[in-house]
Amino acid sequence: MNTPIQHLSGELDNGNELYIKRDDLLPFSMGGNKVRISQAFFQDMEHKGCDTMIIYGSRHSNLCRVLSNLCCSKDVPCVMICSHEEQEDQTATNNTHLIDWAGAQVIHCGKDNIAATVSSVMEKLRARGRRPYYIYGDKFGRGNEGTAAAAYAEAYREIQDFEADQGREFDYIFCPSGTGATQSGLICGHLLAGDGKKIMGIIISSRETERARQVISEGVSDYFVKNGRTLPTGWAEEIILLDGYRQAGYGHYDSRITSTIREQYRRNSLPLDPIYTGKAFWGMKEYINASGIRDSRILFLHTGGAPLFYDFLAKEGTENETC
């Protein structure tokens, strides 16, 4: 599933070169990191001899879109436990509609009632003779951290192949960090390669930085344990999180992000969204300027979210721009 790595010339100053890996172009369900992650969950489900997928997320979730799409395309029943915030935006988004189209059975639950809902869904399915698989492991959402990380531990090899072709390595990889699964996987790839790259995660939500660090370290160590590998000493220092660009938290953005999105569409024809990729791309550029990084080769991972780009376009796309 190799995706293109493109050079974006003229984007950065101080002798820095910017490249972008287009995982938004993965050829399933409108692409994105959730394609690789969903495939990893799906294979794990089959490997464990299960036959019914239980997914969890909000009705706007990219992961739920891709997983529910994967299930219906393979004729596997899919139950979605849909979490609700106390104050939430009731409007349906593109992902909400696509999850509906995929025909996932949606079970609603509050944020404080997830474990009980997961158990009762599992029990009901078992009583009907099914073998349910919950993507996050047990009812508390633990035990399956390494599966999602595996997706980007493997994708890391595509980056290494590109470097081998070019005869030069990247110094940095930047990506948005939400649950941290993508960053965990990239860190696994980096630790296995023993190379000098720095994997920079830009926190896009209000998740506390120490909590984010802990979740990533669980993902990395679970992956290493499950693959029978030993972690190198000092590995935890390789978890680099930038928490200065989250703005007011998940889904919050201001005109610095919207201008970045317009600019990147115009200059490089990139579809970025304000929740993940647009926020992280803006944060990356700010960080590179502020930290005085020079003469470096930098890779940005485009993690997809195309339906969010179109949500954004429908909402804020009416202003004109003079070419």
Ligand X SMILES: *Cc1c(COP(=O)(O)O)cnc(C)c1O
Binding residues (CB under 6 A) for ligand X: these are: 32-34, 62-63, 176-183, 276-277, 303-305
Q: How far is the CB of 215 from ligand X (least distance, A)?
A: 9
Q: How far is the CB of 201 from ligand X (least distance, A)?
A: 7
Please report the DSSP string for 261-307 in residue order. Answer: HHHHHHHH-----TTTHHHHHHHHHHHHHHHT--S-EEEEEE---HH
- For residues 21 and 24, give the distance between their C-alpha atoms in angstroms, rounded to a whole number: 8
288 versus 306: smaller Cβ distance to ligand X: 306
User: Which residue number places its CB atom closest to ligand X?
Assistant: 305
> Are 37 and 305 spatial neighbours (Cβ–Cβ below 8 Å)?
no
> Are 78 and 51 spatial neighbours (Cβ–Cβ below 8 Å)?
no
Q: How far is the CB of 123 from ligand X (least distance, A)?
A: 28
Q: How far is the CB of 164 from ligand X (least distance, A)?
A: 26
12 versus 181: smaller Cβ distance to ligand X: 181
38 versus 52: smaller Cβ distance to ligand X: 38
- For residues 304 and 46, give the distance between their C-alpha atoms in angstroms, rounded to a whole number: 26
77 versus 141: smaller Cβ distance to ligand X: 141
- For residues 220 and 224, give the distance between their C-alpha atoms in angstroms, rounded to a whole number: 6
- The one-letter amino acid code at 143 reads G
Q: Which helix (H) or strand (E) holds 107?
A: strand 105-110
132 versus 278: smaller Cβ distance to ligand X: 278
Q: How far is the CB of 275 from ligand X (least distance, A)?
A: 7
